[in-house]
Amino acid sequence: TITKRDRLEVIIYRGGLVMAAASFAIASNLFFAQGKAAYPAITPLFAVFSIGLGVSLYFIHIYLKPLHRALQAFWLIGTVATIAIAISQPEPLALYIYDHPLTLFGTGFTFAALTGIYFKEAFCFNRLETKILTLLVPLLLLGHMTKILPIEMEQALLGAWSIGFSIFAVRKMTQAIDPDIGDKSVFAYLKKQKPLAENN
């Protein structure tokens, strides 16, 4: 039976997505409008983005518990790595990460967690924007890490990411709540199977 708590968790999950998408969109627009002058403002916006993503990952309904825990672990690793960079380096966070692509081996885990949400939404709800984002985000990050993408292409992909993420968040807020909860009998079945697997 679907409860009020289930529906509240979905609302909080979606609220976290909106929080993350809005801060990401603002940061992207600032970058496109002001260039490097926007870097100092991007740091607090990234913090808001990360908090929103963390909230969503806590309340998201995923049948497979190991996958849920893995996405949360990715977020935690990315958050710790990003905080370490922000504390240890005098440059603005975004500038340092941009100039040192290998830092994405740490901070990139945050975006891997976000991509996991995109994949889940694409798989469960067949959303076009999340299908695109599931491929676009790794392409942009890996392209920047390996330095194979021209700056113009990176900026185009960043713009597409910002637009796609915003569309996803807006559509998510207008979607019926119950489908996001899923089939609770599946959760119950998987929960029963865990003790059996441990005893065998």
Extents of the domains making up the chain? 4-199
Let me know the angle formed at the C-alpha of 38 by 14 and 99, rounded to the nearest 5 degrees: 95
Residue 142 CB burial class (10 angstroms; 0-12, 13-18, ≥19): middle
**Summary mean pLDDT of the chain:** 93
Global pTM reads 0.90
Q: Are 22 and 14 in contact (CB under 8 A)?
A: no
Q: What's the token pair of residue 11?
A: 């609302």
Residue 132 Cα distances to 102, 126, 167, angstroms? 24, 11, 12
User: If you average pLDDT over residues 7-13, what whole number do you get?
Assistant: 97
Neighbours of 64 (CB within 10 A): 11
Q: Summarize pLDDT for 140-195 with one digit per residue, the tens.
A: 999 999 999 999 999 999 999 999 999 999 999 999 999 999 866 655 555 666 65
- Nearest CA among 151, 27, 103 for reference residue 143: 151
Q: Summarize pLDDT for 65-104 with one digit per residue, the tens.
A: 999 999 999 999 999 999 999 999 999 999 999 999 999 9
DSSP 170-192: HHHHHS-SHHHH--HHHHHHHHH
Q: Are 119 and 134 in contact (CB under 8 A)?
A: yes
Instruction: Give residue 14's pLDDT band: very low, low, confident or very high (50, 70, 90).
Output: very high
Three-state secondary structure call for residue 64: coil
